Each structure stands twice: as C-alpha cells, then as structure tokens.
Amino acid sequence: MDKLVILIPTYNEAVSIVELLEKLSSFRSSSQYLFDAVVIDDNSPDKTAEIVDRMAISWVQILRRPGKGGLGAAYRAGFDKVLADSQYSHIVTMDADGSHRVEDLPAMFAAIKTGKSIVLGTRWMPGGSVVNWPKSRQLLSKCGTLYAKLALGINLNDLTGGFRIYSAELLKALNLQDMNATGYCFQIEMAMAADLTGAVATQVPITFVERINGVSKMSKAIVVEALTQTSRWGLMRRLRPNADKLHYVK
C-alpha cells in the first residue's frame, strides 16, 4: 500500500471540521499509515473553507466548489482530483460531522486489500453500532439498507453508509462521470458499481455517532431520491443485467 488520502465533504461544518482535523492530526502523528486529506467544500456560508485554510495543516488541501451541489457531486470532484495524483493507492471517504470516528480508522486501514477493493464501515453487523440516534432514524437506515440489499441483490449490510475506503484501481475502473446520484443514494450507487467490477468488498464494524455540532443535510428529497433510484436500478438489473455493467464499468 502506498499513501492514502481522506476525502471529507463539507457544507457548513465550521465547528466539526476543526475537531475532526485535530483528531486526524494526532492519529496521523502516531500512526504507521501515511495519509493526506482533502476537504471538499461547497462554498459554505459559515466559512468552513477559510477556517480550514487558517489551520494551515501541511497535509490538508481544500477543494473549493462554487456552491452546494450535493454529496455525490462533491465526492466525484474529489475523486477526479486525487486520482490524478498517482501517489495515492487508496481513497478514504469520511463525513466531517464526527459521525465517522477516527478511532475506527485503524481497523479499516488494516482491512485494505490490493487490486480492485472496497472497505465498508458497517453499522449493521456484529460489533457495529449507532450512538444517539432515535429508534425512528435507526429504523429508516436499516430499512433503507435492507431494501437496497434486496432490490440490488448485493449482500452487504450498510449500503448507505459513507465511511469507506476505495482502492484507486477500483475507482479508475469506473465511469465516475456517468454517475449522477446526489444524496446518500450516491453511496448505494458506488457500492453497486463496485460490485459490478467484481471488487473485493470487506465489511468492518464501526460505531456511528450522531453529530453534536452543525445541522444535518438529510432531507425528504434525499430519501425519495434514494428510494426511486434504488428501485430503478433494481429493475434495470433484472431486466437488462448487462446494461448497468456497460454503464458503470470501463
């Protein structure tokens, strides 16, 4: 394994991003793993990007985008940027809001495989958990993942989670520019595309902690998008099993 890069999308995460970068800094100085980070900010009105800039951390770059374009678009821009840099063998995706814990990174790093591979931080498996989520939100997440699992026929337990590690080899095998999911169905789309390439998938239990600072960007529109897109993908996979492979895999 060469160097890793952690992509962190932000929209109004002024408080959370400082905490996360501080935790990553102390982990980085004691870790055997070499990594950089890229904060992908959509011109947050709360000046998240300027705050990160002022922290002046040598291994953190900022990718500034003109306005709020959704999680999927932010990640695709981030992938483009880091795939152009050949020093990175693996790309970590991580929320800025503290829900994805730095403490879970060592186990995720240890699960990395060579070749086309994906490591999925997983809440819904033995050892995984969720802290401070009401039962209703837990139910929504579990049902969403179960629905995606059945609709797409992919045997993974956390298809909507965003704490992952992709190998650069896997991302380079995908037609990323042809993906258009915005909300958390971007995570489902990426898991499906990885599955289509035959990538090795490893699930690692994580503890997901509800954000303390800032506000969620989750909306009804995001849930509806996930539901309609997943149903459409599921149908397509049954009706035209090879078409989605042609669409997603180079």
By CB under 6 A, name the binding residues for ligand GTP: 9-11, 13, 40-42, 68-71, 74, 95-97, 99, 184, 211, 216-218
DSSP string of the chain? Answer: --EEEEEEEESS-HHHHHHHHHHHHHHHHH-SS-EEEEEEE---TT-HHHHHHHH--TTEEEEE-SS---HHHHHHHHHHHHHTSTTEEEEEE--SSSSB-GGGHHHHHHT--SSSEEEEEESSSTT-EEES--HHHHHHHHHHHHHHHHHHT---S-TT---EEEEHHHHHTB-GGG----STHHHHHHHHHHHHHT-EEEEEE-EEE--SSS-----HHHHHHHHHHHHHHHHHHHH-TTHHHHHHB-
Return the number of the residue (10 or 157) whose C-beta is nearest ligand GTP.
Answer: 10
Return the number of the residue (150 or 212) whose C-beta is nearest Mg ion.
Answer: 212
Handedness of CA 151, 156, 161, 164 (dihedral sign): negative
47 binds, among Mg ion, ligand GTP, none (CB under 5 to 8 A by kind): none
User: Considering the complex, what minimum distance in angstroms separates the CB of residue 97 from ligand GTP?
Assistant: 4
Question: Whose CB is nearest to ligand GTP?
Answer: 216
40 binds, among ligand GTP, Mg ion, none (CB under 5 to 8 A by kind): ligand GTP
Return the number of the residue (157 or 160) whose C-beta is nearest ligand GTP.
Answer: 160
User: Considering the complex, what minimum distance in angstroms separates the CB of residue 217 from Mg ion?
Assistant: 8
42 contributes a contact to Mg ion by CB under 5 A: no
To the nearest 10 degrees (0 to 180), the angle between helices 135-152 and 220-239 is: 20
Return the number of the residue (24 or 74) whose C-beta is nearest ligand GTP.
Answer: 74
248 binds, among ligand GTP, Mg ion, none (CB under 5 to 8 A by kind): none
Return the number of the residue (156 or 199) whose C-beta is nearest ligand GTP.
Answer: 156
Return the number of the residue (185 or 194) whose C-beta is nearest ligand GTP.
Answer: 185
DSSP string of 211-235? Answer: -SSS-----HHHHHHHHHHHHHHHH
68 binds, among ligand GTP, Mg ion, none (CB under 5 to 8 A by kind): ligand GTP
41 binds, among ligand GTP, Mg ion, none (CB under 5 to 8 A by kind): ligand GTP
97 contributes a contact to Mg ion by CB under 5 A: yes
**Residue from 48, 99, 141, 145 in contact with Mg ion (CB under 5 A):** 99
Under the rule (CB under 5 A), what is the footprint of Mg ion? Answer: 95, 97, 99
